[in-house]
């Protein structure tokens, strides 16, 4: 039995990724049915970072 090891180089990682079955690859994953609402900054969020430049 072969032990599973983490890839140690980029070429090993690429080789491992090439072994992913086609039905699990990203282009075959279905799109989500519901889209998230656009994120908006409200006054409370803005107030938390309003004076951020003073700390940087």
Q: What is the pLDDT of residues 3-30, one digit of tens each?
A: 778 889 999 999 988 888 877 777 767 7
Given a contact cutoff of 8 angstroms between Cβ atoms, the answer to whether 26 and 20 are in contact is: no
On the question of pLDDT at 41 being above 70, the answer is: yes
Cα 4 to the chain's mean position, in Å? 24
pTM beyond 0.75: the answer is no
Per-residue CA distances from 30 to 4, 7, 25, 48 (Å): 29, 28, 11, 38
Roughly how many angstroms between the first and final C-alpha of the chain, as a whole number? 55
The pLDDT of residue 35 is 78
CA distance 26 to 17: 11
């Amino acid at each position: 039995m072969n032990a599973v090891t983490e890839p140690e180089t980029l070429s090993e990682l690429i080789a491992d990724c090439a072994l992913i079955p086609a039905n699990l690859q990203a282009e075959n994953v279905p799109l989500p049915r519901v889209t998230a609402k656009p994120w908006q900054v409200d006054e409370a969020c803005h107030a938390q970072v309003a004076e951020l430049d003073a700390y940087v």
